[in-house]
Chain A
Amino acid sequence: MSALAPTITLARRRFELTTRTPRELLVPLITPILFAAVIAPALKVALHTGTAYESFVATGTIGLLIPLNTMFSGLSVIVDRETGAQRELLAAPVPRALLPLGNLAVALLVTAFQVITLIAVAVARGIDFHTDAGGIAWFTSAAAAFAIGMYGVAETLASRIPKAEEYIARVPAIAIVPWFLAGSLFPINALPGFLTWFAKFLPLTHGLALVRYGLLRDSSGLHNIWSMSNTTAMAGLSLAVVVLFALALTAVSIRVFTRTALR
């Protein structure tokens, strides 16, 4: 029997629960909007840079918003397990892998809403984006794949960590620290040599390079990673990295969930 109907039911349930918790929608937006609309323009003035830097930081904040939002979404898995209906869902005649997939669908939807909000705020603040249909395709693919991978991280952690407090304590290390190393506020070449090398292995570095390639048609981030002359090839390689990250973490999250949910 088709898995689509129960997946839609599970996703609808998660969506209804999420929309009844406004903090899940709004809190992850605060920091990135602050960066895009306030800090980036302030830095431009303070550092006497041009409009391009504002755009650079505004797109960079997408790399903060996605991990923050997906990690917040993961918190609801713990709430479900501790005080919600997770056991009822586990006793339902549906494959258990559909539970994290239903959650993922909603995390992706909420992330899309937040990224669009962030971009709208940035545009309203006068930040320039130079894109076209091809650019939007690169951006959308990269952002979606990165969000899927990050939700896999969140779901995996939520399955393994017993308490919400312990989970929240890990959020900065996972959602924020890599952001500083992944070329969000400055190119990775500005980092010390070993950190530049390390940054090239972060999926976020590839995701941000693709976001900028898509929204600003700026391929410097890709070049800093791959040092190749063919931009499309570099974009394809980075997208492959982010998609692999998404596939691997989704598989891990399903496996960990189904194993830990059963005692």
Chain B
Amino acid sequence: MISVRRLTKTYPDGTEAVKAIDFDVGAGEVFGLLGPNGAGKSTTIGMLTTTIRPTGGTARLAGFDVAREPLAARSVSSVVFQEPVVDRSLTGRRNLELHARLWRVAAQEGEARIAELAAALGVERLLDRPVGSYSGGERRRLELARALVSRPQVLFLDEPTVGLDPRIRAELLDVVGELRNTTDLTILLTTHYLDEAEKLCDRLAIIHEGRIVALDTPAALLAGLGREIVELRVNGDPAGALASLRSHGIVDGDGFAVGSTLTLPLHDRSAADAVAAIDAAGIAASSISTRRPTLDDVYLRLTGGRLAEAA
């Protein structure tokens, strides 16, 4: 449904926002672009929605080339933007109707879809109020309803939960999860929230400085780090400590240091063996713990920075 080949965006000032990325998204799949702000996620969505002009490569939506057939590509897709993109002085209903008209949904059909979506997304009672009076969560739900009015084949969600409080964020994730389970909509979402990516996405591409550095299912990405990891905070030189652990064969090449914290995937080794080996190697640690790996660890290993810090 989405096919991206060597897609590139270099801005006139020389900034390379997206560097020859490739990926495919199948029909009905939920695909995530995970990375911090500035990684190139929104630029990628901008190129796929034809609001940013690619400087290289190709992208197709439902077979339509976004550069050569932009109208056709736009007609099969909808987007929920990172920032609020609504007519605040118009009612919610008018915002939805405008989308329906522009996407050439017949008036009667549009009304029926608006009623159905408003009920499904819990914005029914708000529809005749100006959008300027909505809360952040209500507006986001309205924007999601608007994107779905035209029954797109491809839905782009650009950081859909940014700026929302935790309760509303959880509710919105449930709504997107429901869409995933009940429709054959292809969804491409960008996020820097790991739980969001893990919960919603069939596959994930981790994007860092404009490049895709990993692409797989969340489970496969996590499996690369084994079932358990040891995290230790060292006194002194963490790079030296990591080198020492490697030389003692306690950690493979996928161990990494961020600040004073070393993260060591255990793979087949037991936690007790690893702790004993660390002790025997003479590493002075102020704390040591074991836990299950997360996507944050995957990201850290690949990019050397925590998502939450980078975002």
Binding site for B on A (CB under 8 A): 1, 5-6, 9-10, 13, 16-17, 20-21, 83-95, 261-263
Choose the segment among B27-35, B47-55, B209-217, B258-266 that binds chain A (4+ C-beta atoms closer than 8 Å). B47-55
Q: 30 pairs across A/B with beta carbons < 8 Å? A: A1-B104, A5-B104, A9-B101, A13-B90, A16-B90, A16-B94, A17-B87, A17-B89, A20-B90, A83-B84, A83-B88, A84-B87, A85-B95, A85-B98, A86-B85, A87-B85, A90-B50, A91-B49, A91-B50, A91-B74, A91-B79, A92-B74, A92-B102, A93-B71, A93-B72, A93-B104, A94-B102, A261-B51, A262-B53, A263-B51
Interface residue B86 (Cβ < 8 Å from any Cβ of A): yes
Partner of B86, one of A5, A21, A85, A93: A85
Interface residue B134 (Cβ < 8 Å from any Cβ of A): no
- Which residues does chain A contribute within 8 Å of B136, judged by CB atoms? none
Q: Which residue of B lies closest to A263 (CB)?
A: B52
**Category for how many chain B residues contact A:** 20 to 34
Chain B stretch 242-288: residues in CB contact (< 8 A) with chain A = none
* 8 tightest Cβ-Cβ pairs between the two chains A and B: A93-B75, A92-B102, A93-B74, A9-B101, A20-B89, A87-B85, A85-B87, A263-B52
Binding site for A on B (CB under 8 A): 11, 46, 49-53, 71-72, 74-75, 77-79, 81, 84-90, 94-95, 98-99, 101-104, 146
A92 to B149, CA, bound (A): 13
Tell me the smallest distance from the CB of A117 to a CB of chain B, in Å. Answer: 23
**Known pairs A87-B81, A90-B51, A263-B46; A95 contacts B87 (CB<8 A):** no
Partner of B87, one of A1, A5, A13: A13
In contact, B101 and A95 (Cβ under 8 angstroms): no
Task: Known A-B contacts: A262-B51, A263-B11. Give 15 more (CB < 8 A).
Answer: A6-B102, A9-B98, A9-B102, A20-B89, A20-B90, A84-B87, A87-B85, A88-B99, A89-B102, A94-B102, A261-B51, A262-B50, A262-B52, A263-B51, A263-B52
Tell me the smallest distance from the CB of A99 to a CB of chain B, in Å. Answer: 11
A85 to B92, CA, bound (A): 12
- Which residues does chain A contribute within 8 Å of B46, judged by CB atoms? 263
- Which residues does chain A contribute within 8 Å of B90, judged by CB atoms? 13, 16-17, 20
**Known pairs A263-B46, A263-B52; A93 contacts B103 (CB<8 A):** yes
Partner of B103, one of A1, A10, A85, A92: A92
- Which residues does chain A contribute within 8 Å of B86, judged by CB atoms? 84-85, 88
A95 to B85, CA, bound (A): 19
